[in-house]
């Protein structure tokens, strides 16, 4: 089924596969848009990314990546308010793809009252209008996409904003990320037959199971991205977990609950110089292998950003393929739309 262009198009009506394939271009374009946002140059004491769902995951990736590159701390807020610590010397990035996310707008307003340095990332909507009215810089990104498909634009814009503040120098890692994603795409795109396509094969393996995506260090937020994409694109229950934390609680359930055989642990592997972590990963895989089938997906590239985004590309493809196997349109979101409608009525 996945090797038939006609059958794939019947389900992927809004071309989610095309969005996955163009993520390298989105990342480069997003970087340019962030650089052109107009944010005054200043060095913040901390960075706060405000966002929800597909707009927040870029912040989680930024938080983990920035920890390898800068001494300036970065946190992600997915709520209605920002931490008490946010103040005049904070850089607040309000990210909402639609521009109408009520939680993000609430955080934007609160950060304004605290007189923080704010920049918005949006395709338009209320957030863009409020930003323009308040004189807040806006990194405008293209509209018409599913928010989860805009990750390249969102993350790229965040990088451009941080570069303006002289927090990081990103060109080298962005170039390598584009190259690593290109390589992943060459393995996983629809024209590659299932027998040679790791994303298609993994989709078939996940079909009868509940996926649990496991990351560590820089792949922690990538595991969350995988789970979110499986939730939305494939319409399946999927979860993420991380090492070493899961070895202090979750592993007991894996080993003692007979339902474990219905779950598929998927480890996102990448370079780590920590010998203790290497030993822990191997031991955890070995133990889980006693109760269910264990899967591993390896990163491409050398730099932290390249490894993160190569894993993201593979996961995005696998989620779309699983949705198609389930006869679902990867671009729809009926449950989220229904909940928004209920909340608006109340």
Whether 41 and 138 map to the same domain: the answer is yes
Same domain, 121 and 222: no
Residue 206 inside a domain? The answer is yes
**Average pLDDT of 83-89?**
96
pLDDT digits (tens, 9 = 90+) for 106-143: 999 999 999 999 999 999 999 999 999 999 999 999 99
Q: Give yes or no: residues 59 and 96 share one domain.
A: yes
- Is 24 within 8 Å of 176 (Cβ atoms)? no
Q: Looking at residues 291-299, what average pLDDT do you find?
A: 98
User: How far apart are alpha carbons 226 and 38 in whole angstroms?
Assistant: 33
Q: What is the CATH number of the domain that holds 138?
A: 3.40.50.10490
pLDDT in tens, 208-244: 999 999 999 999 999 999 999 999 999 999 999 999 9
Quote the mean pLDDT of the chain: 96
- Does 298 map to a domain? yes
What pLDDT score does 230 carry?
98
Number of domains in the chain: 2
162 and 276 in one domain?
Answer: no
On whether residue 5 sits in a domain, the answer given is no
Res. 345 pLDDT band, cuts 50 70 90:
confident
Burial status of residue 313 (CB atoms within 10 A of its CB: 0-12, 13-18, 19 or more): buried
Which is catalytic among the residues 64, 163, 232, 270? 232
Of the residues 13, 45, 193, 340, only one is catalytic, namely: 340
Q: Does 198 share its domain with 316?
A: yes
Could you confirm whether 340 is annotated as catalytic? yes
Is 280 domain-assigned? yes
Encoded tokens for 53: 């769902």
In the chain, where does DSSP find H-type helix?
Answer: 5-11, 16-21, 23-35, 53-66, 102-113, 125-134, 151-164, 171-188, 198-206, 220-233, 250-256, 275-288, 304-325, 334-345
Q: Is 117 part of a structural domain of the chain?
A: yes
Catalytic-labelled residue, pool 248, 256, 273, 346: 248
Asked about 179 being catalytic, the answer comes back as: no
State whether 125 and 201 are in the same domain: no
Is there a contact between 215 and 222 (Cβ–Cβ < 8 Å)?
yes
Asked whether the beta carbons of 13 and 140 are under 8 A apart, the reply is: no
Q: Residue 194 class from Cβ within 10 Å (0-12 exposed, 13-18 middle, 19+ buried)? A: middle
For residues 49 and 112, membership in a common domain is answered with yes
pLDDT in tens, 166-218: 889 999 999 999 999 999 999 999 999 999 999 999 999 999 999 999 999 99
The answer to whether position 84 is within a domain reads yes
User: Are residue 207 and residue 306 in the same domain, yes or no?
Assistant: yes
**Cβ-contact 214, 268 below 8 angstroms:** yes
How far, in Å, CA of 119 to CA of 140, rounded? 11
Q: Is residue 12 part of a domain?
A: no
The model's confidence at residue 40, banded by pLDDT at 50, 70 and 90, is: confident
Residues 273 and 311 in one domain: yes
Domain that holds residue 109: 36-169
Same domain, 122 and 252: no
Give the Cα separation of 59 and 74 in Å (integer). 9
Whether 129 sits among the annotated catalytic residues: the reply is: no
pTM: 0.96
Three-state secondary structure call for residue 52: coil
Question: Which pLDDT belongs to residue 346?
Answer: 62
Yes or no: say if 334 and 345 are a contact pair by the CB < 8 Å rule: no
Same domain, 61 and 132: yes
**Is 161 in the same domain as 199?**
no
């Amino acid at each position: 089924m996945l090797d038939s262009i006609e059958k794939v198009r019947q389900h992927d009506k809004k071309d989610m596969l095309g969005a996955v394939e163009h993520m390298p271009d989105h990342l480069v374009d997003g970087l340019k848009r962030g650089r052109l946002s107009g944010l005054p140059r200043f060095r913040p004491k901390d960075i706060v990314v405000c966002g929800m769902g597909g707009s927040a995951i870029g912040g989680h990736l930024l938080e983990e990546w920035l920890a390898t590159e800068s001494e300036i701390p970065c946190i992600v807020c997915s709520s209605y308010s920002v931490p008490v610590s946010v103040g005049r010397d904070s850089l607040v990035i309000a990210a909402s793809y639609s521009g109408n996310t009520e939680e993000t707008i609430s955080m934007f307003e609160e950060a304004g009252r605290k007189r923080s340095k704010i920049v918005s990332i949006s395709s338009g909507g209320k957030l863009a209008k409020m930003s323009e009215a308040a004189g807040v810089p806006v990194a405008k990104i293209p509209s018409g996409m599913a928010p989860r498909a805009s990750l390249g634009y969102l993350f790229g814009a965040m990088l451009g904003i941080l570069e303006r503040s002289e927090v990081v120098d990103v060109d080298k890692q962005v170039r390598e990320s584009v190259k690593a994603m290109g390589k992943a795409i060459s393995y996983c795109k629809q024209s590659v037959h299932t027998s040679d396509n790791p994303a298609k094969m993994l989709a078939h393996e996940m079909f009868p199971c509940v996926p649990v995506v496991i990351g560590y260090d820089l792949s922690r937020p990538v595991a969350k991205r995988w789970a979110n994409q499986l939730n939305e694109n494939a319409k399946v229950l999927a979860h993420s977990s991380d090492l070493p934390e899961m070895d202090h609680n979750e592993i007991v359930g894996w080993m003692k609950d007979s339902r474990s055989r219905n779950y598929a642990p998927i480890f996102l592997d990448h370079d780590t110089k920590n010998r203790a972590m290497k030993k822990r990963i191997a031991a955890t895989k070995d133990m889980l292998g006693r109760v269910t089938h264990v899967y591993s997906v390896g990163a491409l590239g050398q730099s932290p950003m390249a490894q993160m985004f190569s894993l993201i590309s593979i996961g995005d493809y696998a989620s779309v393929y699983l949705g198609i196997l389930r006869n679902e349109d990867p671009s729809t979101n009926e449950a989220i739309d229904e909940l928004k409608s209920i909340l608006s009525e109340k």
